[in-house]
Structure 1
Amino acid sequence: LKNRGMVQSMSRKGNCHDNAAMESFFGVLKSEFFYLNKFTSIEQLEAGITDYIHYYNHDRIKLKLGGLSPVQFRTQQLAAA
């Protein structure tokens, strides 16, 4: 990480609970996208991940968000403020 100019993300106690949201996302990404497809190149995988992230944020509804996508939910919250 140091060679790439990155800083490791850790909480004060040195545990990784602050990464729970990303770990959850990666689990969903793998189960809904990665394991269901075959890729013939890194470029194809990268393009697929880009498309999936757009789908996840703009089109995939979540019951926890009242049946809205994350972008729809945030837009609604900002409009109400």
Structure 2
Amino acid sequence: EMFYGFEKTFKTMNELEQSIKEYIHCYNHDRIKTVLKNHTPIEYRNMVLNKAVQ
């Protein structure tokens, strides 16, 4: 998603790699989804795992 159309904006592979890591972190930690009961994927995962342990 974040890469398509912007291929030529990254000057080095390290720059591209860092951008991908930042995107993945944002995708998992900052993006709220209504299908996940208004939680981020990480919050929802932790919530489900905590309920399974109890």
Asked if these proteins are the same fold (TM beyond 0.5), I'd say yes
> Could you give the per-residue CA deviations for residues 6-59 of structure 1, whole angstroms, max 9, x where no partner exists?
xxxxxxxxxxxxxxxxxxxxxxxx2xx224752111110111001111111111
Superposition RMSD in Å: 1.6
Alpha-carbon distance between aligned partners in 1 of 2:50 and 2:17, rounded to the nearest angstrom? 34
Unaligned runs of 5+ in 1: 1-29
Alpha-carbon distance between aligned partners in 2 of 1:36 and 1:69, rounded to the nearest angstrom? 26
What is the TM-score with the length of structure 1 in the denominator? Answer: 0.53
Query: In structure 2, what is the equivalent of residue 80 of structure 1?
Result: 51
What fraction of aligned residue pairs are identical, expressed as a percent? Answer: 42
Larger Rg computed on CA atoms: 1
What is the TM-score with the length of structure 2 in the denominator? Answer: 0.74
Between the two structures, name the one with larger relative contact order (CA 8 Å, sep ≥ 6): 2
* Number of corresponding residues: 50
